[in-house]
Structure 1
Amino acid sequence: MQHRGHQSTDGTDGGELTVPMAWLYAEYIADELLRTGDLMPPTSFEFRAGRDALALTIFLSDADGELSGIRVVTQLETWLSLTAYDQPWQGWVRERMAQLAAAEAESGRPSVDLELAAAAWRWLEETELLAPDLDAVPGGGALPDEDEGPKVWTPAWQLGLPLGHLAIHLF
């Protein structure tokens, strides 16, 4: 049985595995932003949802493929606008993923970065987390304690996106 890996990063097919630098860098930035914000324990599913939503935003907003060379501070406003409450983030992610998949198909070279981003997106869409039901909070009343009040199953991306947005604000 012969093992055939992805093309190496220099474009030659030496049977070497490609290192998904763009995705790993996006994930690293997202992780650091969330840890700096100290919004929740890094071992929680909520943290993962925030990290994956933010990493997708970072990765997919890199239209020129220069993620490893970007400066985080210059991109914060872009990421804030993409993750804002009134933006169609889910549709934007689907559109960008489709564009990248089409470009990958056209080039004939698989992208390990895109594979990891697609796996994160599937997890965010298919996983539901139990979260406080913010729609059930009486008008003008205080938010219930996290352990009190009604809870609803929420898609992970709907919980992670505002966490990522808040982490950017706190940076």
Structure 2
Amino acid sequence: MAWMYAQYVAEELVSGAGLLPPGTLEYRAGRDALALTVFLAEDGSRLSHAGVVSQLDRCLDLTAYDERWHEWCAGRLATLVEGGGGNGDGGAAGSAADGPDTGPDPGLPMALAAWRWLTTTELMAADAATDGPWHCAAVDDLCGEDRWMPAWRLGLPLAHLAVHLF
């Protein structure tokens, strides 16, 4: 359930920001990047509205440009997979407070599927130098020509902006 709630929260934030039309690949990349951030940033307690709202500052920090989001996600997911989805180190899976079932979070396979899509799907980034009032210093490797890049690299700024606009 934690993954489904994280995905719901991400959907609400990204659609509420109104940055891209739903159904586009870029929208999906932003929603999935934010859902993974919410899911993996969770402190081991059950996800709830109050818990997610209190974690938004952390999500904002994790999705910031200079942060190592990709490495952080890979490490957190590896920890959850190796640990059978348990939360021994404050992971996103079930905790002792969840009840007698402390096995893997049933949402972990869905989170892994989102991770695979974000890391294996490539999307084209438009020329940031001509497509709007972008600051090229922040995306200097994109300026001047169109580039293909992993979906997470396009989705992460969208996720960050959606949280910021909340």
Do both share a fold (TM > 0.5)?
A: yes
Tell me which of 50, 56, 75 is aligned to 1:95: 75
1:160 alignment counterpart: 155
Q: Distance in 2 between matches of 1:105 and 1:39?
A: 33
Deviation at 1:70, TM superposition (A): 4.0
SS in 2 for 1:150: coil
Aligned to 2:117: 123
* 1:32-47 equivalent positions in 2, closer than 5 A: 32-47=12-27
TM-score scaled by length of structure 1:
0.76
Q: Is the 8 A contact 2:29 2:156 kept in 1?
A: yes
TM alignment of 1:34-73, pairs within 5 A: 34-68=14-48, 70-73=50-53
TM-score (norm 2): 0.78
What's the offset of the Cα at 1:105?
A: 6.9
Larger Rg: 1
Report Cα offsets for 1:84-141 as digits up to 9, x if no partner: 001000000011001111221789944321100000000000000111143xx3xxxx
Within 2, Cα distance between the matches of 1:28 and 1:120?
14
Comparing 66-75 and 34-43, the one that deviates more = 66-75
Report the Cα offset of residue 60 of structure 1. Answer: 0.4
* Structure 1 Cα separation of the partners of residues 146 and 43 of structure 2: 38
| Number of aligned positions between the proteins | 142
Structure 2 residues without counterparts, runs of 5 or longer:
87-100, 133-143
- Structure 1 residue matching 2:83: 3-state secondary structure: helix
Measure the CA separation in 1 of the matches of 2:158 and 2:9.
14
Instruction: Give the secondary-structure state (helix, strand or coil) at the position aligned to 1:67.
Output: coil
Deviation at 1:67, TM superposition (A): 1.4
One-letter code aligned to 1:131: A
CA distance in structure 1 between the partners assigned to 2:85 and 2:44 by the alignment: 18
Unaligned runs of 5+ in 1: 1-20, 138-142
Match of 1:80 among 37, 60, 78: 60
Q: What's the CA shift for 1:69?
A: 5.9
Q: Once the two structures are aligned, what percentage of the paired residues are identical?
A: 51
RMSD: 2.2
